[in-house]
Structure 1
Amino acid sequence: MSHPLRKRLAELDREIASKRRKLFKLEKTRSAVETELHAAATYPILTLPVEITAEIFLWLRDLQPLCVPRCQMSGTIAVAGVCRAWRAIALATPRLWSNLRINFDGIEHEAVLKPLWVECFIDKWISRSRNCPLSLDFQSRSVLHFTESRLRHILRRYSTRIQTLSLDLGSRDLRPLRFDSAAFPLLEKVYLQYHSNPDEDVDFPRPMTIFANAPRFRELNMQWSQLDTTLLALPWSQLTKFQGRIKNLDLFALASNLVEVKCALFPNEGVSSTTLITHHNMKILILDNDCNLIQHLALPSLQHLDIAKMDNHELLEPFLKRSSPPLASLSMQALKGPTGNCFNRLCECMALVASTLEDVKLCNVPEDLKGISTISGIFPNLRSLQISLRNTDHESGLAKLLDFLYSPRCTLRACKFLWARSPFLDRRAFAGTLRGTHTHKVDTISGHLARLVQGGMSVYIGTEDKNYLVG
């Protein structure tokens, strides 16, 4: 009875052995074909010079912030894990590892509790940068995740190599970091962000001394909502660039070598109406909130003025009179008043700097372009003009615009006119062919503008999203 079963079992064993021999031969053949394929195949990306590949990696580095322990999400780690060739290039490019961005609040609590786990990761990362100057960007708003003492030890360990430092500590005090006891010989740029608790009174009984031993310190970006800048003992005289919110005008008195300032004055109740500070080195002033600050300043070296909100045009003229600056660039909201055209009022003020003004940008102009012709001939060096209009009469405005652009006195090389809605450029107009000639021709608005472009002028006319001059 069992004989047939044994016979059947033996047949199955022989068949399985035969199949295994065939499978072994197929696998061997496949391996040979795969080897031949890899030898013959050429990947264009791998043919790039190592230097170009390294530069591409540097661009990719900043695409994704690093967050420990999910470090595999960073651009640097990603490219290093693609293949052996890329990993070798990444590890041989020290600059690729000189930037480190960490959100300590995003680290899993279990990882933080491991002794020196985070510190070892940072050490390993920075060791690959060799001797390159470092750019460190740390966010640590919660003391429960990462204490000030641990952060202080990290900063002290690498203080002699830090070139750019960015810190966002929420509402945590900076004092425990002890910046005054560390040397930062390469430090140039600092970004400090502070979020004060509106339910708590911020009280610093004594000024915080920070970066006293940073001889190259030049740029400060300080986004602190309610902290007076005078409560910081900084090497103010070293600063050449500042960005942030200020509560008074002491910055302009303390930092006498400032060249560029972008600031907002919050609040300004504590500034006396008679306060006036003359700053001789400032060349660029960008005001984020309003124009009230300029009534307290005289800036004889100013070259660029950008005012986000120009709600009092009466402040501009006295500012320009007492400053007499070589102003080359002006950007602001349109001047408003009870009577008169905004262009006329602008020209009256700008006549004080007409000989040097090259670029003008006016935003949110409420009137049409009928007064634009007043600009011609007043500004002999005007090269670029940008105007953003609202409630504009397209019919009369576009005709006046053509007269202005065709005028022999128009010195513009580039102009940009933005409407709140799409302009109608198919209307036919009777205007000159090219500036400086007396020949006139009937053509559409777009046709006239296209001919100006062919004559060498850069023209943009339309909305923020589309230039309707170019199809």
Structure 2
Amino acid sequence: MTVHHLRARLAALDTQILQQRRALDELEQSRSDVERELFATATYDVLTLPVEITTEIFLVCHATGPSLLLPHGKHHGTPAPLVLSAVCRGWRTIAHATPALWDSFRVDFQKFTSNTEAADILIDSWLARAQPHPLSLELQCLEVQGSFASVKALTHRWSQQIRSLTLVILADVHELGFDLAAFPILESVMLCCATSISPSIPVGVFQNAPLLHDIQLGWSLYPRQFQFDWEWKRLTKFSGKLDSMELFALAPALVELTCTFLPALDASLVVTQHLTLESLTVADDDGDESLDVLQYLTLPALRRLDIFDSKDNHDSLRLFLARSSPPLISIIVEMNEVCLDQWRKSLLIVASTLERVELHGVHDSDAHQSLTDDFIRPLSDKCLTIQSLTLKSAGECNADILMRLLYALSNRALKSFTFLWDLPPLLEQTAYENEILDTLSGHLCRLSRAGMDIYFGTEDKNYITE
């Protein structure tokens, strides 16, 4: 082919390419026109839902807890109400007309240190949409200057509408002037304040809070550091440190208590009876040496007992249960492997009512053997009411011992079994039990198919499926 023909052919191809590009541009323009028209006229299924259903969907999106408010421009973790409001005009109208979406938030005022006025505007516009719903506020201020004034102004401005209040502040709480403000619907308060409050000079707070019945004190705060004008007899729930037994006398209606016991030198430590307490959690203190509070209590109405305490308190537990004779249905304890027999004696006292047992800290196969032969099996012979058993272990598992335990309990009232390790379990261990030779996984799946609810693995993953 001559040079002339080749040049003619190249020119023809260039012309065809140009024509195709023009056609493609026309098609893309047509597509954009149709897309624009579609967006202007189309109705999406989700937008045709009744307002009531859309509102319920919004509330489910918001149900994970109080929203964290951040300064403008920080989009990480944008609160659900703001995300929903930004989708379209219809959703914004629905969101702004749903007070329950805006009735709670948490804010760290240190994030607004450069512009506290912006924080006040954002918070007030948020809370204005919550009216007339009761409010649940979580406020943190670890700097006294600047933002502390915003915390004080905010709580006073909305005091009539606050039902639940959490305060983490690096200052004495009396500086907030809560003794002067009215909190007519306040029910629950959590305070973490500076430790400069003198124990010998009680601080007056919430003097006009007729519904307050739930108090949580954090850091190094004690009940006697606060002077409440509302009557202590209304208190039903308390969480914090105790330095005496005075609370049990002041709060005869107390139902739920979570405490660490750090008695003062002048505390009177006689055995105290409380007639309404149903739930007691004894926590271990990370710093000071706490004292076993069980040896000073008689609780005949107790239904739930959780002992997260590293001390060897098996003997006081037995004496406490014998002294109280409570209708206990749930117990969580840190096990001492040397004293399994003592633990068994303790739980046999409440065997007729006990439904849930959770044991922590059984670390090796010898302990599992002792747990089965000296503790669980004798307990199961007399206690037919245990429906849920949880064992938490950091050690290895002996498949034969564990299967002996589960098959022994499978014909009892036990409906749920949980075994948690720090590391993934070895499911291919073999065990001969119930006249069947199978792997650990096989036995557990068989028990699961028979109706037992089994969780077997780590905190994050259940390795057993039917």
Is 90-99 or 456-465 further displaced after alignment?
A: 456-465
Alignment partners' CA distance in 2, 1:398 and 1:336? 16
Alignment partners' CA distance in 1, 2:406 and 2:384? 19
Cα contact 1:288–1:308 (8 A) shared by 2: yes
Q: Which residue of 2 aligns with 1:455?
A: 450
3-state DSSP of counterpart to 1:102: strand
Q: Which residue of 1 aligns with 2:207?
A: 212
Alignment partners' CA distance in 2, 1:26 and 1:422? 58
What code does the residue aligned with 2:70 have? C
Residues 1:124 and 2:125 are matched in the alignment:
yes
What code does the residue aligned with 1:161 have? Q
Aligned ranges for residues 83-98 of structure 1 at < 5 Å?
Answer: 83-98=88-103
Cα contact 1:368–1:391 (8 A) shared by 2: no
Deviation >6 Å, runs of 4+: 25-31
Alignment partners' CA distance in 2, 1:205 and 1:397? 56
3-state DSSP of counterpart to 2:385: coil
What code does the residue aligned with 2:123 have? I
Q: Which residue of 2 aligns with 1:184?
A: 183
RMSD of aligned residue pairs (Cα, Å):
3.0
Alignment partners' CA distance in 2, 1:34 and 1:447? 57
Cα contact 1:402–1:431 (8 A) shared by 2: no
| 5+ residue gaps, structure 2 | 1-25, 285-289
How far did 1:260 drift?
Answer: 0.8
How far did 1:274 drift?
Answer: 4.2
Residues 1:80 and 2:74 are matched in the alignment:
no
Cα contact 1:93–1:129 (8 A) shared by 2: yes
Q: Identity over aligned residues, as a percent?
A: 36
Alpha-carbon spacing, 1:39–1:228, altered in 2? closer, same or farther (3 Å) = closer
Is 446-455 or 374-383 further displaced after alignment?
A: 446-455
What code does the residue aligned with 1:232 have? F
How far did 1:129 drift?
Answer: 2.1
Q: Which residue of 2 aligns with 1:411?
A: 413
What code does the residue aligned with 2:293 have? L
How far did 1:209 drift?
Answer: 1.6
3-state DSSP of counterpart to 1:368: helix
Alignment partners' CA distance in 1, 2:421 and 2:34? 64
How far did 1:256 drift?
Answer: 1.8
Alignment partners' CA distance in 1, 2:103 and 2:424? 48
| 5+ residue gaps, structure 1 | 1-24, 433-439
Q: Which residue of 2 aligns with 1:228?
A: 222
Alignment partners' CA distance in 2, 1:151 and 1:468? 48
Cα contact 1:373–1:403 (8 A) shared by 2: no
- TM-score normalized by structure 1? 0.80
Alignment partners' CA distance in 2, 1:209 and 1:291? 29
Alignment partners' CA distance in 1, 2:72 and 2:28? 40
How far did 1:243 drift?
Answer: 1.7
Alpha-carbon spacing, 1:39–1:118, altered in 2? closer, same or farther (3 Å) = closer
Aligned ranges for residues 132-211 of structure 1 at < 5 Å?
Answer: 132-148=133-149, 150-170=150-170, 172-196=171-195, 202-203=197-198, 206-211=201-206
Alignment partners' CA distance in 2, 1:257 and 1:105? 39
How far did 1:132 drift?
Answer: 1.5
How far did 1:419 drift?
Answer: 4.1
Alignment partners' CA distance in 1, 2:303 and 2:119? 47
Alignment partners' CA distance in 1, 2:143 and 2:202? 24
Alpha-carbon spacing, 1:291–1:333, altered in 2? closer, same or farther (3 Å) = farther
How far did 1:230 drift?
Answer: 0.3
Deviations 1:53-92 (A, max 9, x none): 3333334444750034558643322322222122111111
Q: Which residue of 2 aligns with 1:294?
A: 294
Cα contact 2:263–2:291 (8 A) shared by 1: no
Q: Which residue of 1 aligns with 2:330?
A: 329
Deviations 1:435-457 (A, max 9, x none): xxxxx444444333333222222
Alignment partners' CA distance in 1, 2:354 and 2:190? 33
Cα contact 2:427–2:440 (8 A) shared by 1: yes
Cα contact 1:163–1:188 (8 A) shared by 2: yes
Is 457-466 or 324-333 further displaced after alignment?
A: 457-466
Residues 1:67 and 2:70 are matched in the alignment:
yes
What code does the residue aligned with 1:352 have? I
Cα contact 2:66–2:105 (8 A) shared by 1: no
Residues 1:361 and 2:386 are matched in the alignment:
no
Cα contact 1:220–1:243 (8 A) shared by 2: yes
How far did 1:317 drift?
Answer: 0.7
Alignment partners' CA distance in 1, 2:188 and 2:416? 34
Alignment partners' CA distance in 2, 1:147 and 1:53? 38
Aligned ranges for residues 413-452 of structure 1 at < 5 Å?
Answer: 413-432=415-434, 440-452=435-447
What code does the residue aligned with 1:374 have? P
Alignment partners' CA distance in 1, 2:279 and 2:238? 10
Alignment partners' CA distance in 2, 1:282 and 1:159? 30
Deviations 1:296-323 (A, max 9, x none): 1111100000011252211111100111
Alpha-carbon spacing, 1:231–1:390, altered in 2? closer, same or farther (3 Å) = closer
Q: Which residue of 2 aligns with 1:305?
A: 305
Alignment partners' CA distance in 1, 2:129 and 2:403? 64
How far did 1:420 drift?
Answer: 4.9
Q: Which residue of 2 aligns with 1:21?
A: none
How far did 1:207 drift?
Answer: 1.5
Alpha-carbon spacing, 1:147–1:362, altered in 2? closer, same or farther (3 Å) = closer
User: Which of 377, 394, 397 in structure 1 is aligned with 2:398?
Assistant: 394
Cα contact 1:261–1:284 (8 A) shared by 2: yes
Q: Which residue of 1 aligns with 2:250?
A: 254
How far did 1:252 drift?
Answer: 2.3
Q: Which residue of 2 aligns with 1:11?
A: none
3-state DSSP of counterpart to 1:251: helix
Cα contact 1:415–1:460 (8 A) shared by 2: yes
Alignment partners' CA distance in 2, 1:176 and 1:272? 29
How far did 1:399 drift?
Answer: 4.5
Is 414-423 or 178-187 further displaced after alignment?
A: 414-423
Q: Which residue of 1 aligns with 2:47?
A: 46
How far did 1:464 drift?
Answer: 3.5
Q: Which residue of 1 aligns with 2:319?
A: 318
Q: State the aligned residue count.
A: 422
How far did 1:429 drift?
Answer: 4.4
3-state DSSP of counterpart to 1:179: coil
Alpha-carbon spacing, 1:281–1:70, altered in 2? closer, same or farther (3 Å) = farther
